Chains A and B, each alone.
Chain A
Amino acid sequence: MVGVTAAVELERLSAQYGGTPCLREISLRIPEGEMAALLGPNGAGKSTLLRVLTGRHPAAAGRVRLFGHDLSALRPSERAAWVAVAPQELTVPMPFTVEEVVGIGRTARLPRWTAPGADHRRAVEAAMAGMDVLELRARAFDELSGGERQRVVIAMALAQEPRLLLLDEPTSHLDVSHRLEILRLIERMNAERRLTVLMTSHDLNLAAEYCGRLFLLDRGRLVAEGAPEAVLREPLLREVYRCELRVRREEDGALTVRPVRPPRFAAGAAVPPLGERKT
């Protein structure tokens, strides 16, 4: 690993919300150019970790280094030139067009005293082309479907021309084909621009399929990391997600995780009240 810059390097990072610890002593490293996923149950700290990586949420202890630089030493415009975020959901309360929303990604790169120049237009154009939203450019963001919005949000982050792209649940409210499409486009950006990608996800199968490195969080702790087969192991997942599940290797080599439903309630038997059911 010597000589390869780490896009992200965390050293015993802890963070808290209103006094309650939500990240505990996390140390991890993501080499530049990789695609990685943060997994874990709801409330495990995945989104908080992304927020700490951009300085939006303060670290209580430990260090965050991006491309070898201390995050706390970076000015907001320098940080924004390296790290972009595609949020899970974006509310646009005014009638901005798709092209304008994508252009907002370049806020920190705009010249203060002159009109935006050719490089601005070129980057916005390239970002829209990369996410296949060129034909939507004049549409109002409000009017788009969920899949279109997600592509525009990622295009906004790409227009920032970052070296590290953070995605918060990029596929969570999309159907199967749109999930594949988003991940295919992200993978293309990763290959073409050598963009480092870190995404949070609840979709273990697609994360295993597209990301070479997985991080598994449980209640603020990093409990496993590495290649999909090292992280997606039955006993570990059972303990972290607190449910029964099966991991299997498909014929095409893909690793799949399937939740197993608890036993059926017998017909006619008294159904125990909710609080007493074992999950």
Chain B
Amino acid sequence: MNRPVRWLIVGVLVATGLALCLLIGPGGFGWPVWNSAIGIARRERVWAGFVVGAGLSTAGVLMQALLRNPLADPYVLGVSGGAALGAAAAIVLGLSSVAALPAAAFAGGALTLVLVYAVAAPRGRAPSLYALLLSGVIVSSVFGALLMMLISLAPAAGLRGITWWMLGSLQVPSATLLRGATALVAVGWAVAFVFAPEWNALTLGADTAHNVGVRAGAAVIGGLALATLTASAAVALAGLIGFVGLVVPHGARALVGADHRRLLPAAALGGGLLLAACDTLARSVHPSAEIPVGIVTALLGGPFFLYLLRRRKGWSA
């Protein structure tokens, strides 16, 4: 089977999966009236699920390649801690408009990356990847403490907002935000795809990347920025949804191999479909209440990840 045919089949499968997600709701199985309130809400949720899943998975693929560590995920460099802190700060300060929360999350995530990078970089030189990982862990835990302090100080009204946001939800706060996040994820993914050979080379280490003609330092910074862009766009839209960025790149690698020219499309499609499906489950299992989607992804992703770890015992890096 040649390549275009194979990708066509994958495309049809993904489209069918997304259509199934549209069909299923708390009331059972059925096609919603297209322009009814339910129809619009479901379309937006499936769309948001796909965009957030694709964004987190793309960030996961990039982080794992750049840090040369299959256990890395979009949040490992503190993007999550920073984004959560930004959102919580906005709530505590009373900036609870539709745009303020995601903007604050995005700013928090991006600023954290800059901070982590500055802490890890010795006197203006490029930091080692271990220094980056270490400084990410430290900055994340400090931010986690600050976040807990903010939560304990938060007014009762804002508390539920923070909690819901930290659990992750695909209820779209505004169509504008959805379109904006879609555009950011799409641009981030496309740029990442164009530079797929660079990520392949960097997976073999900065020295090898340099030797085969990659500007290694610039490529690492660019890749980190792209990962932060797609992850922050996803976090700004849906809050903190775990495990997608960690598990999907693994699953995609098992299916199509480690070459980023195939891995990036596979991870984006697979992650998008997976999160849309998880969200369908989250809003359908209980007839009157909704489970936060982050709980579904954690319950499915955790055991799957352990399974992967045991099967691939050789990946100790």
Task: Answer whether A and B are interacting partners.
Answer: yes
Q: B258 near A: Cβ within 8 Å?
A: yes
Most buried by A among B194, B214, B258, B259: B258
Residue numbers in A under 8 Å from B65 (CB-CB): 94
- In the bound complex, do residue A85 and residue B203 qualify as a contact, i.e. CB atoms below 8 Å apart? no
CB distance from B283 to the nearest CB of A (A): 35
Q: A108 near B: Cβ within 8 Å?
A: yes
- In the bound complex, do residue A93 and residue B212 qualify as a contact, i.e. CB atoms below 8 Å apart? no
- In the bound complex, do residue A77 and residue B213 qualify as a contact, i.e. CB atoms below 8 Å apart? yes
Tell me, in angstroms, the Cα distance from A101 to B208 when the chains sit together.
Answer: 11
Please encode chain A, from 47 to 84, with 1 for each CB lying within 8 Å of some chain B CB and 0 for all others.
00000001110000000000000000000110111011
Please encode chain A, from 95 to 137, with 1 for each CB lying within 8 Å of some chain B CB and 0 for all others.
1110011001111101011010000000000000000000000
Partner of A92, one of B64, B204, B207, B312: B204
Tell me, in angstroms, the Cα distance from A95 to B312 when the chains sit together.
Answer: 10
CB distance from A27 to the nearest CB of B (A): 24
Q: B68 near A: Cβ within 8 Å?
A: yes
Residue numbers in B under 8 Å from A105 (CB-CB): 212
Q: B175 near A: Cβ within 8 Å?
A: no
Residue numbers in A under 8 Å from B210 (CB-CB): 54-56, 76
CB distance from B222 to the nearest CB of A (A): 14
Closest partner residue, chain B, to A153 (CB atom): B208
Partner of A90, one of B204, B214, B315, B317: B204
- In the bound complex, do residue A104 and residue B205 qualify as a contact, i.e. CB atoms below 8 Å apart? no
Interface residues on A, range: 20 to 34
Tell me, in angstroms, the Cα distance from A222 to B203 when the chains sit together.
Answer: 35
Please encode chain B, from 177 to 219, with 1 for each CB lying within 8 Å of some chain A CB and 0 for all others.
0000000000000000010011011011101111111110000
CB distance from A54 to the nearest CB of B (A): 6
CB distance from B317 to the nearest CB of A (A): 4
Q: B28 near A: Cβ within 8 Å?
A: no
Closest partner residue, chain B, to A51 (CB atom): B207
Interface residues on B, range: 20 to 34
- In the bound complex, do residue A107 and residue B315 qualify as a contact, i.e. CB atoms below 8 Å apart? no
Partner of B214, one of A108, A112, A142: A108
Please encode chain A, from 213 to 257, with 1 for each CB lying within 8 Å of some chain B CB and 0 for all others.
000000000000000000000000000000000000000000000
Partner of B208, one of A81, A87, A94: A87
Most buried by A among B209, B211, B214, B258: B211
- In the bound complex, do residue B317 and residue A93 qualify as a contact, i.e. CB atoms below 8 Å apart? yes
Residue numbers in B under 8 Å from A142 (CB-CB): 314
> Assuming A100-B259, A142-B314, is B211 touching A93 (CB within 8 A)?
no
Q: B70 near A: Cβ within 8 Å?
A: yes
- In the bound complex, do residue A93 and residue B203 qualify as a contact, i.e. CB atoms below 8 Å apart? yes
Q: A160 near B: Cβ within 8 Å?
A: yes
11 residue pairs A–B, Cβ–Cβ below 8 Å: A76-B210, A81-B213, A87-B208, A91-B317, A100-B200, A104-B197, A104-B201, A104-B208, A107-B200, A107-B209, A110-B197
Contacts beyond the supplied A56-B207, A107-B212, A112-B194: 9 A-B pairs with Cβ under 8 Å:
A77-B213, A79-B213, A94-B203, A96-B257, A104-B200, A104-B204, A104-B212, A106-B212, A108-B214
